[in-house]
Amino acid sequence: MTAAAPFGGRTALVTGAGRGIGRALAGQLAGLGARVVVTARSKAQLEGTAEMVGDADTVVLPADLSTTDGVAAVLDGLPSGGIDILVNNAATVAPLGPYGTVDLAAYRAQFDLNVFAVVALSFALAPAMAERGWGRILDVSSGVVGHPAGMIGGNAYVATKAALEGHAVNLAAELDGTGVTVNVYRPGTVDTEMQGWIRDQDPDRIGHALHARFIDYRNSGALITPEASAGYVLPLLQGDDTGRVWSYGA
């Protein structure tokens, strides 16, 4: 490792890396010297990420992390030498809607992706990190955890992100002293396809207040780029802080 390449010699796994924040994080990790492994549902999007990264050693692993088989496929496809940096970014915001209208199977499926996939990958990869005496786990959360009443109609999303943060801070305490850090990142209001998807939903189904809020994010100019959000957190990831909840711009 050098000052110019602080993650030189490290291998990073980034989930949800086909677009948005995940793609930006993968590209910037590569720019900091890391070999990057990217996973998401869409092979085409991942190939776009690999092309953007521009490193022939980039590993593309299409998988649905909301399933046990998908998590297993990613773990089985990892390159030899292990993972040093795990960025748990994959998530879904669906289902949205007032309580009582949300399909409980979809609610459970959101936990499968937003929480259980994070737990499964972290538990699988952290022991080897601890044995090597160095590792970084970053769990991408949301500012809604700090203001849960502000996303009425997004109960599943708020609940999954709150669970994610509790998991991360507790795991950080368990791994304290091993050289493995675990931190949470609330990435700000980022201009992503998820934002666009919410704007495209029927206000009568998801709730007019929730829909209007996301329209206002766009119209007010409040949205930041994925690259700006990624660029904020990666310098923090280079340090030894653990158990922190970082927020963009804070």
Q: Which residues are catalytic?
A: 157, 161
Reading the block at residue 235, the tokens are 């310098």
Q: Phi/psi of residue 176, each to 5°?
A: -55, 130
Number of Cβ atoms within 10 Å of the Cβ of 230:
25
**Secondary structure, 3-state, the chain:** CCCCCCCCCCEEEEECCCCHHHHHHHHHHHHCCCEEEEEECCHHHHHHHHHHHCCCCCEEEECCCCCHHHHHHHHHHCCCCCCCEEEECCCCCCCCCCCCCCCHHHHHHHHHHHHHHHHHHHHHHHHHHHHHCCEEEEEECCHHHCCHHHCCCCHHHHHHHHHHHHHHHHHHHHHCCCCEEEEEEECCCECCHHHHHHHCCCHHHHCHHHHHHHHHHHHCCCCECHHHHHHHHHHHHCCCCCCCEEECCC
Q: Are 15 and 65 in contact (CB under 8 A)?
A: yes
Angle between helices 20-31 and 43-53 (to 10 degrees): 30
